[in-house]
Amino acid sequence: MADPATYRPATGTIPTDPGVYRFLDAAGQVIYVGKAKSLRQRLTSYFADPASLHPRTQRMVFTAARVEWTVVQNELESLQLEYTWIKKYDPRFNIKYRDDKTYPWLAITWSEEFPRVFVGRGAKRAGWRYFGPFGQAWAIRDTLDLLLNVFPMRSCTNGVFQRAKAVGRPCLLGYIGKCAAPCNGGIDAEAHRAIASDLSSFLAGRSGNLEAKLTAQMREAAEHEDFERAAMLRDSLAALAQASERNAIVLPDGADADVIALAEEPLEVAFQIFHVREGRVAGERGWVADRVADTDTAGLIEAFLQQLYGGQRHDGEAADASAVPSEVLVPVLPEGAAAMSEWLANLRGAKVSLRVPRRGDKKVLLDTVARNASQTLIQHKLKRSTDLTRRNQALEEIQEALGLPAAPLRIECYDISHMSGTNIVGSMIVFEDGLARKAEYRRFIIKNVQGSDDEAAMDEVLTRRFKRLIDDEAALAAAGDTAALLVDPTTGTARRFAYRPSLVVVDGGLPQVNAAKTAFDRLGLSDVALVGLAKRLEEVWLPGAEYPVILPRSSEGLYLLQRVRDEAHRFAIAFHRERRGKAMVESVLDGVAGLGEVRRATLRRAFPSLKKLRAAGVDDIAALPGIGLVTAEAIVAALAEDAPGLAVNTATGQIARAT
């Protein structure tokens, strides 16, 4: 890796104009493309103290060997050039969104003499009309089968169409009324295209005129006593109504909008989009991407909009749901929102509103899309973590990278959590065969460490955990009952805490892993592999090593170690918050007379945090078993006294800001 100081340009040589910049590696490959209002301000931020940079930004600047830039006139030009370079160079450190699955679309081959309608996937062709993408292929096929009763247009392949045309006899769909049979002259090209146009209008959400048209035709047929045709039109109206019910109106104003939301995690981000046309959801889609650079929410949205709409132009007649609509709803506006709106307007050929909905139906719909984005990310992680092939690959990669004699089938990870040295706790989580074993998680209250000494706290946690393991093994081995080594003699159940791990991971770098090694040496543990995983550059540290082990960014082994580390961190943070909240409640209530351990436990169960306890009124607290009105009033008074600026509202019995 190159030292950023070796290729840092002199600050005075960097222009202050807006522009686009490229970081290149030693081989001349572009690894990152970005834009800035002021090139000097943005580029100098990359060459600050490496410790102050985000871990992924650190990795990028250490991988690069030089930086280049191009000055532009304004933000719009920088946005366009940035997108062009990303498409051209495909930089490894720019976010790349990938579909979490392949989505089907419904297409009408509008450029053909007799347009065909069908459900498909994959690349799209010019001159065809597309609708979707849709969440489930079977659902749109069922809907299409229903719509062919109303719009009997061609749905057969070219081979079937030409064969029927050659023999002069329609296929089965022509006989059952689901095709107007243009193959044998049952309808001419102009009339068939009119049917295809009606179906396009319905799929685009414009169904009101079609219902009125069919109703008028039905009444006209009835007036002329053509009851067979009237009955057919009546059935068509019923089918149309049934198809419409499957796609309910979500925006009563009939808006055309793309509603976009995201779910973020430190390592990955998921985007979800609902394409709304004429007030109805015409399609949906999801993407998942690795977070390979230091990008905030606004930056993520900007990059996503570039990739979603880049290169798409509205031709005035295409009904493609992925074309730029008149309104784009997002949870956070990108930094250059005005330039982005102008860029989208240029793509569409008309004004585009890019905004954040604050209330009403659009805000409700955005929240729904956000929930779907969260589910997309959860399903992606679940699929990746439960894939047997990937789990085996991850364990094999860890074994090879660390030089272990066998794959680490049982991995334990430890983390320490505290706030300024108070309420120090530790966590132990367990993964077996690459899967979490939550029943075997353990939590530790640190007893013998004062202040922010993470190494000493880690030493205490590991000493307590492995001393217990060693003592149990020694006692059972002395009894000569090795078969009972992992079975609790009192309950007959597995002694999960007595299993020896194949690999121990500590959250941290070289200092943390050396502290853990000291504890292992003191206990005489030499057959348990030990590593530390540092968040800075996702480096794997071995005890006493001069340099870390660097696993590839796409490595399944690194992904498994990150999941293990992040789960230990989450478990430690959750326990720390629980302890901190309990301690805060206890400290406030120390002076309340008549509040013993039983009543305190009742309060903690009902109001686990100080915030929830303050939000409760006197009546809420008095309703708890064993509390009573007098004690409840004393509790509320103590809470108000502990919070400056707050007082008890005599009307409601709740704590409110004093006026």
Q: Could you report the per-residue pLDDT of 83-104, keeping only the tens digit for each?
A: 778 877 778 777 766 554 456 7
The per-residue pLDDT for 657 is 42
The per-residue pLDDT for 226 is 75
126 Cβ partners below 8 Å, 6+ apart? 111
Q: Are 51 and 537 spatial neighbours (Cβ–Cβ below 8 Å)?
A: no
More confident residue, 418 or 645: 418
Average pLDDT, the chain: 76
Whose tokens are 């600047």? That residue is 61
648 has pLDDT over 60:
no
The per-residue pLDDT for 1 is 58
Q: Could you report the per-residue pLDDT of 262-295, keeping only the tens digit for each?
A: 988 766 788 888 888 777 777 777 888 776 666 7
315 has pLDDT over 50:
no
Q: Could you report the per-residue pLDDT of 201-220, keeping only the tens digit for each?
A: 777 666 556 667 777 778 87
The per-residue pLDDT for 330 is 92
What is the band of 318 on the pLDDT scale with cuts at 50, 70, 90?
A: very low
> 316 in the Ramachandran plot: left (φ > 0), alpha (ψ -120 to 50) or beta?
left
The per-residue pLDDT for 452 is 64
Its CATH architecture, for the domain 4-94, is 3-Layer(aba) Sandwich (3.40)
Lowest pLDDT segment from 55-69, 456-470, 616-630: 616-630
The per-residue pLDDT for 546 is 76
Q: Could you report the per-residue pLDDT of 490-548, keeping only the tens digit for each?
A: 555 555 566 778 898 888 778 888 888 888 888 888 788 888 887 666 778 888 777 78
- What is the spatial distance between Cα 10 and Cα 315, in angstroms, rounded to a whole number? 47
Q: Could you report the per-residue pLDDT of 350-368, keeping only the tens digit for each?
A: 888 999 998 888 888 888 8
Sequence-ordered alpha helix ranges (H) in 123-267: 137-147, 158-167, 172-175, 189-203, 208-223, 227-245
Q: Could you report the per-residue pLDDT of 475-506, keeping only the tens digit for each?
A: 766 665 544 555 555 555 555 566 778 898 88
257 has pLDDT over 80:
yes
Average pLDDT over residues 601-619: 72
- What is the spatial distance between Cα 152 and Cα 171, in angstroms, rounded to a whole number? 13
257-315+322-382 against 401-566: fold identical:
yes
The per-residue pLDDT for 314 is 36
The per-residue pLDDT for 567 is 83
656 has pLDDT over 60:
no
The per-residue pLDDT for 425 is 81
pTM for the model: 0.47
Sequence-ordered alpha helix ranges (H) in 286-432: 297-309, 337-348, 360-386, 388-402
The pLDDT > 90 percentage for the chain reads 2
114 phi and psi angles, rounded to 5 deg: -115, 95
User: What CATH number belongs to 401-566?
Assistant: 3.30.420.340
List b or e across 79-112, with b for residues whose CB sees 16 or more CB atoms inside 10 angstroms: bbbbbebbeebebbbbbebeebeebbbbbbbbeb
Amino acid at 432: E
246 has pLDDT over 50:
no
What is the band of 260 on the pLDDT scale with cuts at 50, 70, 90?
A: very high
> Hey, which CATH number is domain 590-657, 1.20.140.10, 3.40.50.1100, 3.40.50.1460, 1.10.150.20?
1.10.150.20
229 has pLDDT over 80:
no
The domain segmentation of the chain, as residue ranges, is 4-94, 105-245, 257-315+322-382, 401-566, 590-657
38 phi and psi angles, rounded to 5 deg: -130, 110
Its CATH architecture, for the domain 257-315+322-382, is 2-Layer Sandwich (3.30)
**How many residues comprise the chain?**
659
Tell me if residue 173 falls in helix, strand or coil: helix
Q: Could you report the per-residue pLDDT of 327-353, keeping only the tens digit for each?
A: 999 999 988 888 888 888 888 888 889
133 cis-preceded (ω within 30 degrees of 0): yes
Longest dimension (CA), the chain: 102
**Most confident of the ranges 353-357, 394-398, 437-441, 591-595:** 353-357
Average pLDDT over residues 122-142: 71
CA-nearest of 518, 521, 546, 542 to 530 is 542
